[in-house]
Amino acid sequence: MRRLALIALLALTGCAGVEGPSAESIQAVHTFPANYRAEVLAYLRTFLNDPTGVRSAFISQPTLTRVRGVERYVSCVRFDAKSATGGGYRGSRDHLVSYIGGKLENFVELRAEASDQCRSADYQPFPELEQLTRR
């Protein structure tokens, strides 16, 4: 009987430390990405095969959105970059950018059938992307 009581006590003690998300982790998700334009530029400088000569660049201001059940800031980026083969242009494409803790977390090119995620985005000109260099 003592052994059973000891096991029950240990089990209850182990459960005492289980909590939901901390206030800090919730705050990190809800931190507005103040430098979102600079972060997107830094990412695209390494992501694009040829970051020079980007045309028709636009970006939306990050908005708090639920993505796969989790709230986070997201923005949309649209641009026409040079193709990796032949040097021609690929055509304008939409990309979804997610941020966590105020920093760029994920950058995804949207397929044509999924581009409705950015259809209602309030795009603003993004001339810094059009002036990007290899540096």
Scored b (16 or more CB within 10 A) or e, 68-102 reads eeeebbbbbbbbebbeeeeeeeeeeebbbbbbbeb
Residue pair 34/62 in contact (Cβ under 8 Å)? The answer is: no
Q: What is the pLDDT of residues 21-62, one digit of tens each?
A: 565 555 566 799 999 999 999 999 999 988 888 999 999 999
Tokens 């055509």 appear where? 91
Lookup: tokens for 59: 């970006």
| Residue 40 host element (H or E) | helix 36-47
Half-sphere exposure of 28 (CA within 13 A, CB side): 10
| Residue 72 host element (H or E) | strand 70-80
Q: What is the pLDDT of residues 62-94, one digit of tens each?
A: 999 887 788 899 999 999 998 888 778 889 999
Query: What global pTM score does this model have?
Result: 0.76
